[in-house]
Structure 1
Amino acid sequence: MKKTQMLKRSMLTLAATVALGAVVLSAPTPFTGESVVAYAAEETAEVSTIEEFDAALKNPVITVINVNQSIQFKKNITNIPNRDLTINGNADKGVVINSAHNSIYGKQNTKGKNTISIKNVNIVGADGDGRFFTGGSGNGPSSYGWDVFAENVTYQGARFVHLSEGKLTFAGTNNINTRAENAWVHDLEFMPGTVYNGIAANKDHGQFSAFYFNGALIKGKATGEAIIGDNAKINVKIGPQSDVNYYYPVFYDKVQKVDVGENASLDVDAAGVAFQFIPRADYVNKVPTFNLATGSSVHLNGRGGGNYATMKLQYYGSEINVANDAELVVTGNSTKAVVESEYKGAVINLDAPRNFELTNKKPNSKLFYATNTTINATDVSEISTWSQTGGNYEHAPIYLDGGNFSVNFGKICNSKTLSTTGDISPNFKLENYGKLSLVGGIL
């Protein structure tokens, strides 16, 4: 194992020893004469075997590990010292890291954060229980002390990381294919320009979300966020082999805000539910929000459907904000609805959207299962409506005038139009439609 040593400063009295390739510096304290141990500021380890990889991970001096040959784990690598660490996997040179049934466990730290950066890696793990990195114990609120930055990662296994109390950040191009969720997280971010291709629940009819936000509450509040940066392209499939994996969406549990940046895209294909805010009284901002910035595009598809809506807004006042020239397309195949907003007060705000489109492919089935839900729209140039024929709706729509308007609908879990204000045609009856499209701006 080779290393590059960089000593940032000198001391009056030095005693250097080498242990596992680390340089250790000791100097007497000015008052007690006792030695204080300090490590060199940066070390790079070149590794070619699992033994060298294990030793480098456990050496607190090593901050960069270059994996130069394919390796396979023989056991869990536990109690990794807390420090910022980068693993370069040389995937472009054909190097593969096989974690098998094992994981790297970062030492728990409740007083600070460190980041492990995983770059240019091709990782294979067992699809039953393999995961590459585990923060702390990795189970819910015991996993303090670590964030993960992943760039140009290919992963096949059970889950990429368990990071219930940390933030998972993606950059570059990533392909994550997992038997269960792609990851457990507290917070999630896709950096601007990131390309992400994720497959979750990839076997049988397993019920898993793509990302499970299962960490502890912060001061009694659910604070989880999923942030998609400008120009990022996020594609997620949940249970692609199954039409009965209905239950779990792309982001699940303690996530209270989802932002899609300018000109970014989020494309989710699920058997049933593709997007959901669950019923929680502890959202930090009181209401959960789904925000689409200018030029962004979100496509949510529920293939099998059954009795499950593609989008479920299951808390009072849930809010969707679609900015100018953004697109939100929700497609379902459900006897219940495409959008479920049974909790009072859900709001969908449309500001001259490029397209707001809802489609239920199930014949004689409605678009909403709602209670006191409101669509507020500005600068809508055209409204297209289709009756509930189901299928691909290839017949011509009925067009209605748009403009600036509000529609309130849903009297105890249905789609009944309760009131309209503004420019919208008085003939608008949401309960009659199986497909609806609102186009903003000047045609």
Structure 2
Amino acid sequence: MSYQFVHMEVYSRKGRDGRNVDFVLAEAARRPDACLHVENPASPEVVFGVDVDEVRRLHEERAASAKATLANGKQRAIRQDQNTLVTIVASHPAAMDLVAKNPSLADEVRAWEVQTVAWLRDQYGSALVSVIRHVDESHPHLHAFILPETPDLRAGSLHPGQEAKHRIVTGGAADGEDGKALNRRADVAYRQALRDWQDSYWQAVGLPSGLTRLGPGRRRLTREEWRAERVQAQAVRIARERADHLQRAGTAFMDRTRAEAAAALAEATQAASRIRDEAIARQRAALRLHDEADARVRMAGRILSRARRDGARVLEAARAEATRLATLGSRIRSLWDGLLRSRLEARLRQIFETEAAAAKKQAEDAKERAAAEVRKRQAAERSRDAAMAAAQALGRERDAARNEVAAIRNAHTYQHQLGARP
């Protein structure tokens, strides 16, 4: 057997033929009195949602508060025989003993479970409260429990066959159609809705899992025709597995690339942040240096201004002092020139007086020697010699006087230059 099996039932609290909500949940939970058909019962494994005991509690709580609306608009508690729980059983055709021995087959069963749960969640959303796994029978299978989210907790609204039949019946008979024909049309709608529901499961789960839609006997296929269909389904499963593998590999590569890109981006962001922080720190340091430089420039300006003012004052004082010294030098120069002239005049007078005295003495000597020629000649020669000596001495004194005058003039010129210097 390699075709799919999926089946839906609805149950009420009252039940029928002894099968009610309590019994179904007890069988799922493997209560001993409810699973006599299982040789070695094992506790169910939760695949999705809550365990069986929690399903029971949720069902009792919602059933106790559910209200049905009557034709007159009034509300009342729902009836005990109203279906309030939807169950779905999906079974995989692999034998449990083979699954235990074959890891590859076990992986196929796990993939089938994942796809089944995904299909159930897509079909029923939050109404799907639990999916459990049984591993104590001949084939691995899942039980799904669905609680309607409508105020009246009507499970028939989630059963595609019952809902389709309900729409036909409530819609009334067509022209020329009696009650039996209406029921037949409703039954056809019931069966077609369930076929569509199973087709949906096969498209989403059965075909990707390599399962055929039905067995050969149900569609009157020959053994070869059914084998060909099974091979085709297996080929689809293998193709889907390869596609899934490629998708996982691509996803892993993309995740790895994204992670590497994220790491590179984070590293670049950190580096940029560090560079930005360093730039901000350098900018702040530059601003501090700029402010310090401005302060120093302003201080230097103040010092320069003060130096200029002090220099101007010093220069003005120097100029005043130079003027004063120049005036004093002129006075000193005038006084010195006067002193030099007085000394020169006195010296010249002395020389002239000496010469005059000598000449007078010579004249007197000449008169005295006039009587005696020899004496006069001798006196004249002595006078001549004395005059010559005196003349030589006068020349020397004159040269010395000239040198002294030149020295005084040079000293006066230097003092004048010193006084005129700023």
With normalisation by structure 1, the TM-score equals 0.17
Identify which of structures 1 and 2 has the higher relative contact order when contacts are C-alpha pairs closer than 8 Å and 6+ apart: 2
The structure with the largest alpha-carbon Rg is: 2
Q: Identify, as 1 or 2, the structure richer in helix.
A: 2
Q: Which structure has more strand as a fraction of its residues?
A: 1
TM-score when scaled to structure 2?
Answer: 0.17
